[in-house]
Amino acid sequence: MTAALAPSYTVATSPAPTYEVGYVNGQPMSWQQWVEEEKVPDLQWPQANLIYARMGREDGRVSSVLNAIGLPIRRTTWRIDPAGARDEVTEFVARNLALPIVGESTEDKALPRTKGRFSWVEHIRVALMFLQYGHSFLEQVYRIEDGKLVLHKLAPRPQRTIIKMNVARDGGLDSIVQAQPADSNFDIANVLDGGVRIPIDRLVAYVRDMDPGRWMGNSLLRPAYKHWLLKDELMRIEAAVARRNGMGVPVATAPENADQGTVDAYKNMATEYRGGERSGVGLPNGATFQLLGVQGNLPDIRQAIEYHDKQIALAGLAHFLNLDRGGSYALASVQSDSFTQSTQTIAESIRDTAQAHIVEDLVDLNFGEEEPAPRLVFDEIGSRQDLTAQALKTLIDAGLIRLDRSLEEYTRQQYGLPSKDTPPPGEGQVTVSKPSPEDVAAMVTAAGTLIRSGFDPQDALKAVGLDPIEHLGLLPVTVQKPVDPEGADDELVEDLMEDSDKMNEGDAANG
CB atoms within 10 A of CB 290: 11
Question: Who has greater pLDDT, 64 or 20?
Answer: 64
Q: Average pLDDT, stretch 357-384?
A: 91
Question: Who has greater pLDDT, 492 or 16?
Answer: 16
Q: What angle do CA 385, 389, 391 make, to 5 degrees?
A: 55
Helix (H) or strand (E) holding 157: strand 148-157
- The percentage of the chain sitting over the pLDDT mark of 90, rounded to a whole number, equals 34
Residues near 291 by beta carbon (within 8 Å), at least 6 away in sequence: 247, 248, 249, 250, 251
Question: Who has greater pLDDT, 25 or 189?
Answer: 25
Query: Phi and psi at residue 475, in whole multiples of 5°?
Result: -70, 145
pLDDT of residue 50: 94
Question: Who has greater pLDDT, 316 or 110?
Answer: 316
> Given a cut of 80, is residue 57 above it in pLDDT?
yes
Among candidate residues 266, 273, 283, the one with its CA nearest the CA of residue 249? 273
Task: Choose the most confident range, by mean pLDDT, from 105-119, 152-166, 372-386.
Answer: 152-166
- Residue 293: pLDDT band by 50, 70, 90 thresholds? confident
Among candidate residues 105, 101, 95, the one with its CA nearest the CA of residue 81? 101
Q: 155 forms bridges with which residues in the sheet?
A: 139
* Helix, coil or strand: residue 140: strand
* Helix, coil or strand: residue 131: helix
- Residue 235: pLDDT band by 50, 70, 90 thresholds? very high
* Helix, coil or strand: residue 317: coil
> Given a cut of 60, is residue 55 above it in pLDDT?
yes
Mean pLDDT of the chain, nearest integer:
80
* Helix, coil or strand: residue 432: coil
The DSSP secondary structure of 210-259, one letter per residue, reads: PPTT-TT---TTSTTHHHHHHHHHHHHHHHHHHHHHHH-EEEEEPPTT--
Q: Is 443 left (phi over 0), alpha (psi -120 to 50) or beta?
A: alpha
* Helix, coil or strand: residue 436: coil
Task: Choose the most confident range, by mean pLDDT, from 29-33, 310-314, 318-322.
Answer: 310-314
- The percentage of the chain sitting over the pLDDT mark of 70, rounded to a whole number, equals 75
Q: Helices 329-354 and 120-127 sit at what angle, rounded to 10 degrees?
A: 110
* Chain centre to alpha carbon of residue 272: 60
pLDDT of residue 64: 92
pLDDT of residue 413: 67
Query: Phi and psi at residue 233, in whole multiples of 5°?
Result: -70, -40
Residue-wise pLDDT for 139-148, tens only, equals: 999 999 989 9
Among candidate residues 138, 214, 143, 140, the one with its CA nearest the CA of residue 178? 138
Of 238-247, 312-321, 431-440, 452-461, the least confident: 431-440
Of 205-209, 247-251, 465-469, the least confident: 465-469
Q: Average pLDDT, stretch 150-177?
A: 92
* Chain centre to alpha carbon of residue 126: 14
What CA–CA distance (Å, rounded) separates 430 from 352?
56
> Given a cut of 90, is residue 54 above it in pLDDT?
yes
SS3 sequence of 164-212: EEEECCCCCEEEEEECCCCCCCCCHHHHHHCCEEEEHHHEEEEECCCCC
Question: Who has greater pLDDT, 331 or 495?
Answer: 495
pLDDT of residue 32: 47
What CA–CA distance (Å, rounded) separates 338 from 344?
10
What CA–CA distance (Å, rounded) separates 199 from 93?
24
- Residue 80: pLDDT band by 50, 70, 90 thresholds? very high
301 contacts 237 by C-beta, under 8 angstroms: yes
Residue type (1 letter), 206: Y
- Under DSSP, the state recorded for 43 is G
Residue-wise pLDDT for 4-37, tens only, equals: 555 655 555 667 888 888 878 776 545 444 556 7
- pTM greater than the 0.85 cutoff: no
Most distant CA pair in the chain: distance in Å? 172
Of 283-292, 296-305, 479-488, the least confident: 479-488
Q: Residue 198 to residues 35, 118, 142, 163, 334: CA-CA distances in angstroms?
A: 23, 21, 15, 12, 45
What CA–CA distance (Å, rounded) separates 151 from 137?
16
